Structure 1
Amino acid sequence: MSATLTGICKGLPVSPLPVYRGRDPLIGHAPTRAHGLNATEQKTALENALRYFPSSLHEDLAPEFAQEFVAHGHIYMYRFIPDIKMRAYPIGDYPCKTKKAAAIMLMIMNNLDHTVAQFPEELVTYGGNGQVFSNWAQFWIVMNYLSEMTEEQTLVMNSGHPQGLFPSHAEAPRLVITNGMVIPNYSSREMYNRLFALGVTMYGQMTAGSYCYIGPQGIVHGTTITVLNAGRRCFKSGDLSGRVLLTSGLGGMSGAQAKAAVISGCIGVIAEVNKEALVKRHKQGWVMEVIDDLDQLVTRIIMSSKQRKRVVTVQDDSEEDMEEVSQTQTLTQAQKATANLSKDVINKMVSEVVQYMLIMEQKKIPIKRTDINKHVLKDNSKAYTEIFRQAKERLKNVFGLEVTELELTATKTKSKVYILLNTLDADTHSDFVDMSSEEPRMTLLLIVLSIIFMNQGEVITDALLWHILQKLDINCDEGKDHEVFGDVKRILTVDFTKQMYLEYTKIPNSETPIHEFRWGLRAHKEISKRKILDFVCKVYDNMRPENWNTQYREVIRSEGGREDQETAGTSNA
């Protein structure tokens, strides 16, 4: 079988028959079709498939096609899948007599492109059953007809079957198509399934069987309008900044939902059970990030909400949480709420809040007011401010931990997220590069933060970071654990992101998926940039910090513009 455009336009290859290669196990395939045909009807389906081939080949092809029918509920003729990269080639590359025919060829091959079609080997472009053709024999015959078509001919198609080239004129359509010719009032899903199995009809959806599929972009406008109108109806506002659109589906049409969320200004969270569909939309740029951890998703929503200047929550009781967060409770109000509670009850609640915060900090999960109320205080949430004040004092006086606030600001409300910082030993991480440390993950984190900080712009692509870590003999390959750190790639892209030490985001509209790393909110609070720069200086044989002009200025800026006197004196010496 020829792997050229000229070759696929020469007609159905029958002498010799192409080698049977079977289905590609690395791509998605259509589910087995229910047909309901009896033995006689199954024989008819086989005869309908064999009609495209010389009778001399029927003995060879009949058992193969029969097996396909039993296995998949339809005869797709996998043997005749063209051995060519299926895509839309430049229109001038197609062998034809009229550019209009070349345009049709281009659209057909675009509909069957593996990066476009849902089930390319079953000739399904989208929707689960949107067929371009019923079988691959039809593809070959149609491509041959189109290569021979003139401006005085019209190709007539009926549910994937080419009826032939008919004389017409230059002003007539070059192509006339009918698909799924059944009468709704006198048909049913079962009847359609039988007719499709027989090979006499097919469902072409809107743009699969008419060869003009353009992907989710064809529906993104309408989806965006729907999202905006939903916002106007539910929130009485066209401003969806920070709102969460929670939906599902990343198929050929529903893939537009993610982009519609971006255009509308809200945060889109789209669930998808089909990994192949998810990966395809991510590679195409319709989806910006892929997250498979619920806690990490919640953290990412909070961070995105902060960037978009509005508070969101994804709990089931989100309306109650939003109402609670929007209210400003004074200390006096909280004290009144605790007035009727005994000292023992208050101490118990304070202890439970402290214990909860210590557990969350141990897991490096940001602590939220709504979570404390929901999981600890519950019916006593009105006493939150007073209980939280006492819990903060106990954490500082007993454990040496400072409760530090990471504030996510909105136009009218404030949602507060907290972390705990060690105040007993300010030099905890001064000698952090210690491969024998009991906390090797912290060592890895600080190495990565050093690399990011020293990179121009304090941001680094994932590819460059992997390259630098490999140079340091820190293996980042998937499936291969580092002997000290473990699964480096997962720790950096999942664990540290969830803990807010790192931000890991996809660069929008990149042709191939490119991600960037930045310092996370927790890293900015817990880790001194001066110590990072001092460490780098030691690595470079005690080079002075001022030699890195950009990074040194950032250190001074992060410290409020006050230059360290000892460093300044050394510099002036």
Structure 2
Amino acid sequence: MPRAPKRRRRVLKQDLHTQTEAQCKDSSSSSTCSSSFPCSSSSSTSSSSNPPLPSIPEEELGGDSTQSIALSPQEACSSSAVMTCTPRSQSNEGASSQNDEGPSTSQIVGDPEAFPRHEIDAKVSDLVEFFLHKYQTNTPTSKEEILMCVIPNCQDHFQVIFDEASECMKLVFGIDVREVDPTVHSYALAISLGLTYDGMLSDVQGMPKTGLLILILSVIYMNGNCAPEEEIWNVMIGMGLSFGEWHCIYGEPGKLLTEDWVQEGYLECHQVPNSDPPRFQFLWGPRAHAEIRKMNLLKFLAEINESDPRAFPIWYEEALRDEQERDRARIAATDAFAMASSSSSASSNIAYHK
């Protein structure tokens, strides 16, 4: 089975480091796109009609950057469409071969001889499937229920299995497993980053697609808030997704990018003026701007990169500006509401005295 979370983490790591180096050399590139294409979005034009699907010559994709981040091209799914995750303890390139040669860091937690790596992977996959069911039915769960129903007799390995399954839910499906009561270790599942979309109401029923959406929005963010289609498709290919090919979780990637997420307001897809052959660029849509705080997204990316948001100063400064702008907007809205309430109260008093 594919190692999707590891692949996704490597995609974001590669983009973070590549973009950091490029933007440190030319900081102006972080705030503007090509001079022929305005970065300021116009949501009314993008949402009113679906843009054509991008058509990129195959030889223009899969360059050095793609080769450096792409792992196996396989994207097979199990019968339950649950992907096996690669834990952070297997971060090096030879992790898969080491699984057969000796125990990983997570494997030696508890009794090192009780669970070989492949059995832990199987338990992680079972728990991911269990978490998906809980999310789809909007029901909480607990450590007791997990140990009883999903991974019985795994008390010593619970934390390893739980952490890896939670990471898989976050990276593949964009779903957070949150502890709501530490005294009884109860958990609820919610969409990451405060998004209100999970993609379950589509022609691929029942599978959250928020993880891929967050990945695409992150790529746009790391490319100065405006990413060329070639960059987006290179990342998709690095994830094992191909234009025009059906995927059991995400459906047809081209439709997701240029129709579904545009109509939902999370993306804008515009043709670059005077481009021949036509070229497209992707920006955040109004719904993404409204729902995602860039500081939260940066923390999400830093966590994947096992780093700190301050380690990426260009994006950290932009995220701080975003926080300040949101604070000013909130204060202005509060003041406007207070003034309106005061005016209404004064008018009522005048009418009463009359």
Q: TM-score, normalised by structure 2?
A: 0.35
* TM-score, normalised relative to structure 1: 0.22
Q: Which structure has greater helix proportion?
A: 2
Considering Cα pairs closer than 8 Å and 6+ residues apart, tell me whether 1 or 2 has the greater RCO: 2
